[in-house]
A and B are shown apart, each in its own frame.
Chain A
Amino acid sequence: MIRDLLANLHWSVLPVVSMFMFMSVFIGVLIWVYRKDSNIIYKEMENFPNE
C-alpha cells in the first residue's frame, strides 16, 4: 500500500509550499533583525573586524 501511495503521489504542490516556507523564514529574519535594542549590538559588530 505504501509503495502504491509513493508511486502515485504527485508532489507538485511542494514547490509552492517550499516557497511559503522560505518567505516565512525571510520575513521572520527581517522582523528579527529589527527587534528592539538590536541596533546597539549591530552598530558595535559592524566595526568588529577593525578593532
Chain B
Amino acid sequence: MSSVQTTGNVEKFNYDDGIVKKFTLATIIFGLVALLVGIIIAFQLAYYPLNTQLPWFTFGRLRPLHTNAAIFAFAGNAIFAGMYYSLQRLLKTRLFSDKLSNFHFWGWQLIIVAAAVTLPLGFTQGKEYAELEWPIDIMIALVWVAFGVNMLGTIIIRRVKHIYVAIWFYIATFITVAVLHIVNSAAIPVSMFKSYSAYAGVSDALVQWWYGHNAVAFFLTTPFLGLMYFFIPKSVNRPVYSYRLSVVHFWTIVFLYIWAGPHHLLNTAVPDWAQTTGMVFSIMLWIPSWGGMINGLMTIRGAWDKLRTEPIVKFLALSATFYGMSTFEGPLLSIKSVNELGHYTDWIIAHVHAGALGWNGFLIFGMIYYMVPKLWKTELYSKRLANIHFWTATIGILLYIIAMYTSGFTQGLMWREVDAAGKLAYPDFVQTVVRVVPLYWIRGLGGVVYLAGFIIMLFNVVKTIKLAPAVQTNETEDEYVPYVKTPVFGNPDQSFSHRVLEGAPMILAGLVVVAIAIGSLISLSPMWMSSSVVEANYHDAITKPYTPLQLAGRDLYLREGCYTCHSQMIRKTVGDVLRFGAPSTIEESKYDHPFQWGSKRIGPDLARVGTKYPDLWHFRHVRNPQEVVNGSIMPSYSWMYKDKIDFAILRKKLSVMKILGVPYGDDDVANSESWAREDAKKIAAGLVAEGAQIQDDREILALIAYLQRLGNPPASIGGAK
C-alpha cells in the first residue's frame, strides 16, 4: 500500500516490490518456455520426423511461438520487472497506480497465454514478429497504454528533479513501440481469428520491416540500454563512465534506428534509393551503438577485479560485449554486398541469437541475480551456481552461434557458386540443405547447454526465495527530500535549458516523437508511391487478383507458417536469378495482403514455383516431401488431405479484400464459393486422372492452386475472371 510520512522536508515512502516480483517470476517461467520451444524447433530442423503428424507441432507453427515467447514473454516480462524496479528507485517514488500495475501484469500474461494457444492452432497474420491476430493486437495496445500511463504518471509524481538517462530510454520505448504496433497491426477482420493486413506487397514489406527492425531497436535494445545504465553502475557501485556520452548515445540512437528498416529488404524490388538510405543509416548506427557499449563497459573501470568474483558483473559485462558484437555485425550485414551473402541464411540466425541470448539474455540474468535477493530481502543461495550458470550459458551461446555462422557462410557460398561454364555448382537446393544438417545438431546442442544453465539459475532462485524470511513484505522503505516543483518556463532560479529538455518528461517525449517521425516518414515514403510506380511501369494484365481458391490456398500457406522456411522474393543477384528465375518485381505482390517475401530460406524460394512442377508433384511433395526430394527436411502436411476447404468464408474474405482495394467485382464476391468449388474440382479431376486419390473439397487442392499461381500470369491457370 502506498503511504507517505513527512518529517520536516524529508518524506518517508515505500516502493512496490510486489509487482517487480511478479514480473521477475514470469520472466523465469516464460524464459524456460521460450528456450524449450526453441530447442524443439532446432531439433525439428536437424531431424524432420520430430515434426510428427500433429498440425500444431510443426516447425512452421512453433517457430512464431518461439520468437513471440522469447521477445514478448521472456524479454518483455524482464523489461517490465527491471523498469518498475529501477523507475521507482531513480525517481524516489512508488509507482503511480497499483491497479494499473496489476492490470499491466495480468493483461500481459493473458496476451502471452492467448499467443501460446492461437499460434500453434494456426491463427496468424503471417507477418514476422507480428503474427498475433487482431483481438490480441487490441489487447496488446490496451495493456501497453496502461503501462505507459503508469510509467509517465510515476515520472510526473517523482521527487527527483532530473530524469536519469535510463528513464529517457524507457520513455522512447513506450512511445515508439506504441506507434510501431498500431501502424503495423492495421488490418480488417474477416472473422474472430482471421484478418487481412491493411497493406500489401511492397507497402507491407516496408511497414513490416520498419516494425520488425524497430521491434529489435525499441523492444530489445532501448529498454535494455536503460536497464544497463541502471544495473551496471549499481552492480559495481561506480558512477556511469560518462553521462555526457549517455545523452549523445540516447539522441543519436533514437534518431537513427528508425531509418534502418529497409536494410531487411536489400537487393529486393524495393526502390534502390530506399535501400541505400537504410544501408547508410545502418552503418551510421555504429556510432551510438559503440558509444553505448563503451559507456557500459567503461563504467566497470576501477572494479574489473569484480569480474573474477561477482557473477552479476560477469553477466552484465559480457552482455555489453555481446551488444557491441551484435551492433558491429548488424551494420556490416547492412552493406549490400555483404547482405547478398548473408541474407536468407543461418548467418542471420547467428546474428539474432548473439543479440538475444548474449545481450538480452545475459543482461536479464545479471538483473535477476541482482534483484531477487533484494526483493526477497535475503542473500543469493549460491554464488558458485551462478558462476556455473555463466560459463554454461557462455559455452551454449558459442556452440550455437559458431554452428550457425558456419552454416550461414556455407549456405551463402553454395547458393551462388558457379562452375567454369557459368552454371550453378549446386543446382539442387536440397544439396545445400543436406550440407548444413550436421550443424543443426550442434545448434540444438548449444541450445540444450544454454537451457541447462537456465535451469541452474531457476534452482538457485528457488533456493534463494526459500532462504528468505518467512514473513515477507512486498515493499521497501526509503526517504528523500523532494525537489521544489517550479514552472518549466519563466523561472529565473534554475537552468532553463536543462529543465526544459532533460527535466521535463512531456517535452522530452515530444522530441522523441519528432525524432522517430522524421525517419519513419522518409523510410516509409516509397509505400505512398508504389501503386503509381506499378501503374506507370508495368503491364496491368499481369497483376490480377487471386482466384477464391488461390486465396484459400494462400491462407493455408500462412496458417502453416510456410514463410518461416520459404521466401517469395528473387533478388537482383546472379545467384538468385540463376537458381530461381527473373528477379521479383513489385507489381507481382501488389495484391498480397500480407506480403510473403520471407526472411529465411531453409527451403528454396517459391516466387516462381508456379507451373514449374505438375500438380501431382505438389500433391506427392506436401504429403511426403522425402518421396519426391531426397534429403528434404520439410515435414509432411498430411492433414491437408483430410481437412476440407472452408468454402463458406470465401465470400467474406473477398469482400474484405475488395475493401482493401483488390479489384474484385461484385459478381466475383457473390460467386466466390461456386467459383472455388469449380476450380477445386478441376484440379482434383486432373490429379485423379493421373492416379491420385483425392476428394474435390480437400485443403491440398487450394494449396496447389496457390502454389501454381506463384510467379505466373494468372491467365495461364484460369485466374481472375
Contacts and interface: CB of A to CB of B under 8 A. Distances in A.
Are chains A and B native binding partners rather than an unrelated pairing? yes
B505 to A, nearest CB: 15
Tell me the dominant secondary structure on chain B's binding face. helix
- B234, B244, B528: residue with the most chain A Cβ atoms closer than 10 Å: B244
Contact of A32 (B160, B247, B273, B515): B247
B247 A50 contact: no
A45 B164 contact: yes
Interface string A22-38: 10011001101111011
Interface residues of B, number: 52
Given A21-B518, A22-B255, A33 B234 contact: no
Interface string A8-51: 11111011001101100110011011110110011111111110
Contacts of A49: 86, 89-90, 164, 166, 229-230, 233-234, 240
Given A11-B273, A12-B276, A22-B256, A45 B529 contact: no
Contacts of B565: none
Given A6-B528, A49-B164, A26 B280 contact: no
Given A18-B280, A18-B522, A26-B252, A3 B536 contact: yes
A41 B498 contact: yes
Interface in B224-250: 229-230, 233-234, 237-240, 242-244, 247-248
A32 to B, nearest CB: 7
Contacts of B248: 26, 29-30, 33
B502 to A, nearest CB: 7
A41 B239 CA distance: 13
Contact of A18 (B237, B281, B501): B281
B456 to A, nearest CB: 28
Given A25-B252, A34-B244, A19 B528 contact: no
A19 B282 CA distance: 11
A33 B90 CA distance: 21
A49 B226 CA distance: 11
B630 interface: no
Q: Which of A11, A47, A48 has the most CB of B within 10 A?
A: A48
28 contacts: A3-B532, A6-B529, A6-B533, A7-B529, A7-B533, A11-B271, A18-B522, A22-B252, A22-B281, A22-B284, A25-B251, A29-B252, A32-B501, A33-B247, A38-B498, A41-B495, A41-B502, A42-B244, A42-B247, A44-B162, A45-B162, A45-B164, A46-B239, A46-B243, A49-B164, A49-B240, A50-B234, A50-B238
Interface of A: 3-4, 6-12, 14-15, 18-19, 21-22, 25-26, 29-30, 32-35, 37-38, 41-50
